[in-house]
Amino acid sequence: MLPYFAACPKGLEYLLVTEIEQLGGVEVRESLAGVRFKADVATAYHICLWSRLASRILLSLHSDEVHSTQDIYDVVYRVNWHVYFESHKSIAVEFTGTNEFINNTQFGALKAKDAIVDKFRDQGFDRPNVDKQQADIRIECRMVNNKLTLALNFSGRSLQQRGYRSNAGAAPLRENLAAALLLRSGWQTNKPLYDPFCGSGTLVIEAALMAANIAPSLTRESFAFEALKSFKADTWHEIKASAQAIADESKTRKQLCIRGSDMDSRVLNIARDNAYRAGVEHLVTFEVANALEIKPPFGNQKGNIVTNPPYGERLGELLPLIFVYHGFAKAVKAKFNGWDLSVFSSSIELLTAIRLAPDHKYKLFNGQLEAILANYAIGDGALKSVSKQAEPFANRLQKNHKVLSKWAKNEGVDAYRLYDADLPDYNLAIDRYGDRWIVQEYAAPKFMDKTKTMRRLIEAFIVLDHVFDIDSANLIYKVREQQKGESQYEKLNEHQDKFIVHEYNAKFLINTSDYLDNGLFLDHRLTRQKLGEMAKDQDFLNLFCYTGSASVHAGLGGAKSTTSVDMSRTYLDWAKENFRANGLSGPEHQFIQMDCLTWLAHCQSRYDLIFIDPPTFSNSKRMAQTFDVNRDHVQLLKNLKRILREDGLIVFSNNSRQFKMDHRQLERIGLIAQEVTQHTIPRDFKGNPKIHNCWEITHA
């Protein structure tokens, strides 16, 4: 009996203990990320071939205390290496662990290698060659604190690499982890198994190998123990032949109730190829299917759904997945009564979107990524769509929608704000643009717990889905932060997903995906309406015009002319599209791309009605100077006074919560300002009266 160590991913140790015992190992003891055991050579061969959970099998050689780099050399030198392999075999030394006297693993590996080759030479043998890439023999040196442990890699390259995957597809699940998920799920090999997010088919193939009792490493080309002096070829050939005979019997078996599905037909072709190389293509089936529309694949038979849905690391990736997880759970709950569901994900937040109470949860690792396997029993009863904590949010949405949807319909408005941080725990703005929904999160302070914030946000999306049954393709998520300089013009995407909404008698193109702003400032709705009413037979000027929405209302209101000025070519082109959508054309409608302040300084035309909604602050490189609305509004209005006709009107608005009109300075330059903010806040913004401030300014 020789001592061995079976390595495995963290979290699989307990399962591996049971497996090693079943495969014939004795004195089996659980260890960190592995299992220690003893076995004779034949049993060790058998374990290498049949273990579904181990990453590799190591033959333990020696361990001792080390307190200096010389001790490392001496401990390695004490081993009679020629007993284990011939000098003509190439070697590679892997060293892990550091302490106070060695902080470089490459140096540790070099000291160990020197000791090995010196030992061969001092005992009269040729010096082994070093080959880090294709070594026949791999020696592993592991140092923990001051203890150095030496071992030979007995199995060779990782046992999780079964050899059937030529192309794993995106985010592949490791084979031994897939086997562990099947075991942890409680699936019995005589029951149906279904993976609705099967990808390249690893879970399905591993299940078939288990159900048909096929050795997982049977297709492997070689093992490291074949290069050792102690290798018993006859014993190994007998063990392998026995496993092959069992596999051959599976070729006569009928198709198993094991199925995988995925929406991507290309990745399913990879899955079928992998199944063919694993020798189980006749036992399993793969089909194209949407996991949100799945049905029991085996008639009235009950079984297990075991799956590893996609997951994202950034919120932009998580948003559509929230609806995928939640929609998938609803489909399972509705159609798979009596089945067991096991979902593996590295996103605990996404698992909360399933809205079922798990019977068991297991912490596992997918590489270095911590993940959870959650097991659920699917029975009668409703899916928990809203948590008790989220009920006030759901109630507020329903109340707001009942009132505002009726109001918006009566007003002839398609776009309105449904919710604006009404509750402190849900610091969101939710806008509806026709059948599109925009959820904007107000940026949380950096000291806030990100995990808590994320879970609350996911809860909000689940509530939205529950209350309004939203198609995830029609929901956009954005983070509202203060925009400075040219950041307000930066593209977020390149989708060009534009559609039309109605505002009274006007039509506006909305783009919810490509920019932070969508093309229509909803809080200025009443201001635009009033401008349209006042614009008849007027020469109208719109500075900082954005997408020209105020100009459209003026044009529809019968303005003699409209002039729209902005330094963004993108927004001016957008404004032209808005004009075309409303049937407005002709030379009386001008669009000027220029820094508004520079244009204003040189303007020689005069206007009856001027609307200006400047940024709070701008330091754009395209502007001649910085602009601060609190600091510069008097000079701005002085310049506007020069081009305003005697009986003309300036409608001046901005979004600075700290803005204070300097009436004294305005009087000195001959202007009178009257605040009309309370008359310009639409009904859907009444809960946020400081969303903007608005002034009507005339000659004194």
d(CA 320, CA 478): 13
Torsions phi, psi for 245 (to 5 deg): -65, -40
The total of other beta-carbon atoms located within 10 Å of residue 573's CB is: 14
- Whether 185 is covered by a domain: the verdict is yes
Domain hosting 316: range is 175-212+253-377
Check whether residue 113 and residue 22 sit in a common domain. yes
Torsions phi, psi for 330 (to 5 deg): -65, -40
Q: List strand residue ranges (DSSP E) for 8-48, in order.
A: 26-31, 34-39
- Whether 498 is covered by a domain: the verdict is no
The helix (H) or strand (E) run that includes residue 550 is helix 549-556
- Whether 494 is covered by a domain: the verdict is no
Lowest-pLDDT choice from 115-119, 315-319, 327-331, 499-503: 315-319
Check whether residue 534 and residue 673 sit in a common domain. yes
> Is the pLDDT at 143 greater than 60, yes or no?
yes
- Whether 159 is covered by a domain: the verdict is no
Check whether residue 190 and residue 271 sit in a common domain. yes
Tokens of 450: 């990100």
pLDDT of residue 476: 84
- Which of 377, 400, 416 finishes a domain? 377
pLDDT of residue 353: 86
pLDDT of residue 493: 45
Lowest-pLDDT choice from 71-85, 436-450, 553-567: 436-450
- Whether 642 is covered by a domain: the verdict is yes
Query: What is the count of structural domains for the chain?
Result: 4
Check whether residue 373 and residue 392 sit in a common domain. no
C-alpha separations of 294 from 286, 287, 327 in Å: 13, 11, 11
Q: What would the 3-class secondary structure string for 122-156 be?
A: HCCCCCCCECCCCCCEEEEEEEECCEEEEEEECCC
pLDDT of residue 321: 85
d(CA 426, CA 523): 20
d(CA 321, CA 328): 10
The DSSP code sequence of 223-236 is -GGGGSTT--HHHH
- Which of 322, 342, 377 finishes a domain? 377
**DSSP-based three-state secondary structure for 86:** coil
Assign 656 a pLDDT band (cuts: 50, 70, 90). Answer: very high
- Please list, in sequence order, all residues whose beta carbon lies within 8 angstroms of the beta carbon of residue 299, skipping any fewer than 6 positions away: none
- Please list, in sequence order, all residues whose beta carbon lies within 8 angstroms of the beta carbon of residue 358, skipping any fewer than 6 positions away: 374, 375, 376
- Which of 356, 377, 398 finishes a domain? 377
C-alpha separations of 172 from 44, 178, 198, 265 in Å: 29, 10, 10, 16
Lowest-pLDDT choice from 332-341, 366-375, 422-431, 612-621: 612-621
Check whether residue 92 and residue 184 sit in a common domain. no
Tokens of 62: 């020696």
Select from 563, 586, 574 the least CA-distant residue to 643.
563
Check whether residue 463 and residue 552 sit in a common domain. no
Select from 183, 177, 248, 178 the least CA-distant residue to 212.
248
Check whether residue 326 and residue 197 sit in a common domain. yes
- Whether 577 is covered by a domain: the verdict is yes
What are the percentages of helix, strand and coil residues in the chain, rounded to 5?
A: 35, 25, 40
Q: What would the 3-class secondary structure string for 404-467 be?
A: HHHHHHHHCECEEEEEECCCCCCCEEEEEECCEEEEEEECCCCCCCHHHHHHHHHHHHHHHHHH
The answer for 647, left when phi > 0, alpha when psi is -120 to 50, beta otherwise, is alpha
Q: What is the mean pLDDT of residues 168-176?
A: 74
pLDDT above 90 covers a percentage of the chain that reads: 74
Question: 414-460 pLDDT, tens per residue?
Answer: 999 999 999 988 989 999 999 899 998 887 666 667 777 778 888 88
**Greatest alpha-carbon span in the chain:** 111
d(CA 256, CA 261): 15
Residue 7 sits in a domain whose CATH number is 3.30.2130.30
pLDDT of residue 170: 55
Check whether residue 417 and residue 357 sit in a common domain. no
- Please list, in sequence order, all residues whose beta carbon lies within 8 angstroms of the beta carbon of residue 576, skipping any fewer than 6 positions away: 548, 591
Select from 103, 92, 102 the least CA-distant residue to 130.
92
> Is the pLDDT at 577 greater than 80, yes or no?
yes
Select from 540, 508, 515, 542 the least CA-distant residue to 652.
542
Check whether residue 321 and residue 190 sit in a common domain. yes
d(CA 350, CA 343): 10
Q: What would the 3-class secondary structure string for 250-311 be?
A: HCCCCCCCEEEEECCHHHHHHHHHHHHHHCCCCCCEEEECCHHHCCCCCCCCCCEEEECCCC
- Whether 220 is covered by a domain: the verdict is no
- Please list, in sequence order, all residues whose beta carbon lies within 8 angstroms of the beta carbon of residue 16, skipping any fewer than 6 positions away: 6, 8, 30, 34, 35, 51, 53, 54
Which of the residue ranges 39-43, 291-295, 387-391 has the most confident prediction, judged by mean pLDDT? 39-43
Select from 364, 361, 363, 309 the least CA-distant residue to 331.
309
Question: 472-510 pLDDT, tens per residue?
Answer: 778 888 776 544 444 444 444 444 578 999 999 999 999
Q: What is the mean pLDDT of residues 540-550?
A: 97
- Whether 504 is covered by a domain: the verdict is no
Check whether residue 21 and residue 88 sit in a common domain. yes
Task: Report the mean per-residue pLDDT for the chain.
Answer: 91
State the pairing for strand pair 506-511/498-503.
Answer: antiparallel
Lowest-pLDDT choice from 296-305, 466-475, 568-577, 579-588: 466-475
pLDDT of residue 485: 41
Check whether residue 304 and residue 201 sit in a common domain. yes
pLDDT of residue 489: 41
pLDDT above 70 covers a percentage of the chain that reads: 94
Check whether residue 604 and residue 461 sit in a common domain. no
Residue 659 sits in a domain whose CATH number is 3.40.50.150
Residue 414 sits in a domain whose CATH number is 3.30.750.80
pLDDT of residue 480: 60
